[in-house]
Structure 1
Amino acid sequence: MNFFKKLLDLLRSPVTQDLRAEPQINEAEAANLAARLAGEACLDRHWRSVGTVERDVIAYMISPSFRGGPDWPSTRQAYRVVRRGDSILLATDGLSDPFDGVEGMGNGFEMELFMETAEIPEHARGSLGDVDPLKNSWAFELLEHVAKTVADAGGVTERLDQYGTLSLEIPGFSLSHHMSDQLPKIFVTEDDSTGVLLGALEPDFQTRLDDMPLSPVRLVSMVLITASELEYVRSGGRAAREDLVSRLKAAGIGHMSNLNRASVV
């Protein structure tokens, strides 16, 4: 909070105001910006404790919200890249931004999604300092799809509190740009869908950030599941979903999305 206060004071200072482009922002906008920057700094500190964080994020030239896409809390929609040995962790960056033009609502949807995998094709991995190739990976395309669904729902923290874990399916697999070329058929149902679990499997790092500027934020894991696992959840509902989580834990699969693993059902 000290960082947040100092940043807000800086934004109010005459020197800072002289450097701002016209028109100058008002008090509420300054507070919102200070909170957003403080949240970004908090996330950055956390991800740096997890692995090597790329300086650049994966972002858009024009926010998708201006082109009919689901609204995130702010117009900023981006994705962080964290390199951890042979694996790459991709995380949303903006779902926990304070809401634009709204005060007293906390840190946006109070969550960010992440997924980690070592199974990204070499041409789409990029080297340290180059995140652009990752746009051509199945992992980014899948995370982007799920992020849109989560944003359209206004976040899923309440449902996670209620159910513990959630399952989500993405239809139209054959129409995807990169998943259809890079994912094995074991992950595709007969009706052309792919499935994931949200919040089911805890990683080897903290997933609750209590030091965000406005309200706590949780980092929600996203794990790719096989077609037979998705069918199992479809037919069995919550009991099957909970059993699947237990089987995945027992198999030592953890939070990693592994394309070479066998199905557990």
Structure 2
Amino acid sequence: MTAYSNSDAAKDLRSALDKAPADAVTGDWLFITEQAGVISQTGGYMYADGSHVAEGNHALQKVREVVEKLEASQIQPFNKVIVHWTRSKIPLLRGRVTVNILFDETIVPRGPQDPIYEAASVARRAFWEKYGSVQDGFKAEQDGANIHNQTEWFGPHRRVLTLKSNTQLTLATDGLSTPWAGIADQENGVGCELFMELDASNITSHLIDDWTHLLISLGDLVADGYQVAADVEKYGAILFCTLTDEYNPMTRIILSRDGRKIDNLPFGSVPLIRVTPIAESEIEHLEQSDEWASSAARHALAERQIET
């Protein structure tokens, strides 16, 4: 493709931006190229006092078009385009348009090889090793990550750890607290990890696989909801979802506070959330009209002597 420069972009934009609302005197648009599958485009026309003009959205599409041409031309790497328009003070003369492109390192997505992912994994394994023997490898669905190294948990880790201690088997998600791939925000993923405890004395490998896949699915729901950890912290316990028939007689899942936190993650610590399957009989006569049916959830856990 023929080289397409900033000045070419400004020339293409001038006639379109000059179709501004009558009282607009300037305009600014900021376009951030695709980061983790998301494009950001903001801006618009402004009055002389700096307030924004409600009209003139046609300019956004035109800015997008010239950005696409700049990307296709590949004259230089960039991830941010800034467009500024000023109305001419002389009637019938065109306004002045400037187009600046730059590479802002602060919004560069984390790539597949970023060491931050391994740091998160090491911190979680070190935490669980204090409570039992962590088994080698992972029990998980190994879904392929996208070009930004994201699984459905927005990071490269979507898996389950297993650990044994005496007669107890613990399954724990390993990846919800991995910092997001393709996103520069300084957050430990969705800010939690899930775990469930099983009686290891009478559990089969088939049942372990069933509960492992359930934990993966619960992780998907938590990642999609994002605020689940905050709701568990607020209410102590929540009636989260129903189970399919294969888990009978268990019919519901309660998520509850555990009190422990995983420390030394890249951006601080995250809480553990306990997963407890329950039968319908444990809550069927309890009031469930409050938020997340939290009162019923706490009562059911109290009957099992599980603190929230």
Question: Is the shorter-chain TM-score for this pair beyond 0.5, marking a shared fold?
Answer: yes
1:198 and 2:272 correspond: no
User: Which residue identity is paired with 1:163?
Assistant: Y
| Deviation of 1:28 (Å) | 6.3
Asked whether 1:134 is paired with 2:191, we answer no
What amino acid maps onto 2:235 in structure 1?
A: Y
In 2, distance between residues paired with 1:121 and 1:71?
A: 32
Residues 63 and 237 of structure 1: CA distance in aligned 2, closer, same or farther (over 3 Å): farther
Provide the rounded CA distance (Å) in 1 between the counterparts of 2:194 and 2:292.
24
CA distance in 2, matches of 1:234, 1:148: 28
Q: 2:262 aligns with which of 199, 209, 217?
A: 209
TM-superposed deviation, 1:43:
0.7
Gapped runs of 5+ residues in structure 2?
A: 1-104
Deviates more, 1:155-164 or 1:245-254: 245-254
Deviations 1:5-42 (CA, angstroms, capped at 9, x unpaired): xxxxxxxxxxxxxxxxxxxxx99647972222111111
Query: 2:298 is matched with which residue: 222, 234, 245?
Result: 245
| Partner residue, 2:277 | 224
Deviations 1:225-246, CA, capped at 9 Å, x for gaps: 1212343467343496335524
Structure 2: how far apart are the matches of 1:141 and 1:230? Answer: 25
Letter in 2 for 1:153: G
RMSD, matched Cα = 3.4
Q: Deviations over 1:149-173 (max 9, x none)?
A: 11221251222233232111225x2
Query: In the alignment, which of 158, 176, 179 is matched to residue 230 of structure 2?
Result: 158
Q: Which has the larger radius of gyration?
A: 2
Tell me the equivalent position of 1:75: 156
Greater CA drift, 158-167 or 44-53: 158-167
8 Å Cα contact 2:140/2:212 also seen in 1: no
- 1:43 and 2:124 correspond: yes
Partners of 1:147 and 1:208 lie apart in 2 by 17
* Structure 1 range deviating more: 210-219 or 138-147: 138-147
* Distance in 2 of aligned mates of 1:251 and 1:62: 35
Of 216, 221, 242, 1:149 maps to 221
Task: Give 4+ residue runs of structure 1 displaced > 6 Å after superposition.
Answer: none
SS in 2 for 1:197: strand
The answer (yes or no) to whether the contact 1:111–1:155 under 8 Å persists in 2 is no
> Does the Cα contact within 8 Å between 1:65 and 1:75 map onto a contact in 2?
no
Of Structure 1 and Structure 2, which has the larger fraction of its residues in strand?
2
Q: Secondary structure at the match of 2:265?
A: coil
Q: Which runs of 5+ in 1 are unaligned?
A: 1-25, 126-132, 175-179, 188-193, 256-265
Question: How far apart are the structure 2 equivalents of 1:90 and 1:39?
Answer: 18
**2:114 alignment partner in structure 1:** 33
Structure showing greater relative contact order (alpha-carbon pairs closer than 8 Å, 6 or more residues apart): 1
- The residue number in structure 2 matching 1:110 is 191
What secondary structure, in the 3-state scheme, does the structure 2 residue paired with 1:144 have?
helix
Q: Percent identity?
A: 22
Aligned counterpart, 2:171: 90
**Per residue, is there more helix in 1 or in 2?**
1
**Matches of 1:199 and 1:29 in 2, distance apart?**
32
Which amino acid in structure 1 is aligned with residue 196 of structure 2?
M
Shift in CA distance, 65/93, structure 1 to aligned 2, threshold 3 Å: farther
1:96–1:108 Cα contact (<8 Å) kept: yes
